[in-house]
Amino acid sequence: MRKTTLLTGLVLTLGLGSALQAQEMPTLDVPAVQVKDTTKVLTDSVEFIPVETDELIQDRLSCLEQEIPLEFNKQVRGLIDYFTIRNRKYTRRVLERKPMYFPMFEKALAKHNMPDELKYLAVVESALLPKAVSSAKAVGLWQFMDFTGRDFRLVQNHYLDERMDPEKSTEAACKFLKQLYRMFGSWEMALAAYNCGPGNVRKAIARSGGKNTFWGIYPYLPKETRAYVPSFTALVYALNHAEDHNLHPANLQTPIAVDTLLISQPLDLKLLAKQLNLPENQIVDLNPALKLKHIPENVYNFPLRIPADVRPFLAENRLAILDSARYRAPYKAPAKLKLPALTEEPTLILAKAEPVTSDSATKTFYTVRRNDNLSKIAKDQNVTVEQLKAWNKISGNVLMANQKLVVYKPESKTGQDVKETPAAEKTLLASAEEMPVSTGKNAGPSANDVPKENAAIVMVSAKQASAKKKAEVEKPQTVHHVQPGDTLWNISRRYNNVSVEKLRKANKLKGDELKPGMKLIVG
């Protein structure tokens, strides 16, 4: 990068009498400004970019300084030029978002009796984007890592990440910064520790020979942190003197009055917005902590933010609106049963008798303990990891202590009925020719001819087997696995409008109650 002399100001207008005003200033280490064709520049641009002297900027910073030192040096000057000259688009975008978040920051900082200027730290961290994610996986306005977020009770699970909740993450940031200030006794040092961690700041203090100021340990800090506090100072200046540098926001973002709706059902946020005659993504945008565009099942009293002006309409039509906006998972067609081919010869089937087990299941809840993982829980609950993930809509493998998991456990019922279970090790198949049968009047079966105790014998002729095979191939049974939220009525609608009464009769149901895990014959 080569040095050059910058213009104090550049005035470009489209009318007659356009002028180029210039005044020399000290040389800076910034990219060169090259103007090959003055006429082209005058007709292509209309922006005036002031470039102030060091003395003026230093004076303005001293007026802005309150509790946190705002030191002026060449590092700070270079970053001020970056935000006011080289990356004006970034600064304008921040100015547009400032009215949305700064009032909330100011209120939280005043509550904790902390310096008001700490609100500019969120600009350094995220440019005021609540869903910002860094390459290091830090998230939100205040860029919390997952473990730091959990330390300050920011919930993170399969559908929610409170690091993206503006109010909750701001409260957590205030507590964290106050903790760092108590640790180092300086707001500049607290800012450095917020970026690189208390451990790296302590190492820098030790390497510096015990110095306890940011600029005293500056050479010993990580490279990124060396630019962190200067960036903070430069942004305090740029956002307070934006107009002096001809920086004006195009579209100001301002907060709207919101109300809170407690939700305990699966809810599609886009459908809800449609029912309330709102822009499609407005409710999604008002709830940035939600990782999904819907509230999933098994969530109770979720505080959903909605525009306050729709509350009266919602109050009058609550049941109808929430029912219309209910989230329904994409339908998956059940797999059809594949029946094994039957032989033409008469066969003798010996099947071991087993107690009849109910297909119904009981919904239970398991509370995750420390050091639990999905494999361990699945083994303890006698289910599979895939079942746990499906029941709880978990995409990864991360669990949190005290998280509640849904577990469906089968209700085993032992009856007098016997069902035949053809299994390789429990079933003997023999053709009529292979099974010796005595035909004499007084002849009795030998020991080898007698089936073992508790075995059921079914004789099937070749004709019967052939007819049965043909019938079963022509009319395969369709089985539906009951999911949470299923009813006989909505199942009947899915399968060619089969009547509820037929479903009851085919499955020998006395009432309408269904339990997740049940298998229903639907066709």
Is 76 within 8 Å of 234 (Cβ atoms)? yes
CB atoms within 10 A of CB 25: 14
Residue type, 12: L
Name the helix (H) or strand (E) containing 420.
strand 418-420
Q: Which of 117, 125, 171, 188 is catalytic?
A: 125
Residues 6+ apart with CB under 8 A from 514: 482, 486, 487, 488, 520
Taking Cα atoms as reference points, which of 90, 91, 97 lies closest to residue 252?
97
CB atoms within 10 A of CB 139: 24
Does the annotation mark 125 as catalytic? yes
Q: Which residues pair with 428 in a beta bridge?
A: 350
The secondary structure of residue 418, as a DSSP letter, is: E
Which residue's entry shows tokens 């085993």? 412
Q: Return the percent helix, strand and coil in the chain, to nearest 5.
A: 40, 15, 45
The secondary structure of residue 43, as a DSSP letter, is: H
Torsion, Cα of 168, 171, 176, 179 (10° steps): -150
Rounded CA-CA distance 95/261 in Å is 31
Torsion, Cα of 272, 278, 283, 285 (10° steps): 150
Rounded CA-CA distance 295/153 in Å is 21
**Going by DSSP bridges, is the β-strand pair 427-431/302-307 parallel, antiparallel, or unpaired?**
unpaired
Rounded CA-CA distance 188/185 in Å is 9
Q: Which residues pair with 189 in a beta bridge?
A: none
The secondary structure of residue 157, as a DSSP letter, is: S
Tell me phi and psi for residue 514, to 5 degrees.
Answer: -125, 150
What are the catalytic residues?
A: 125
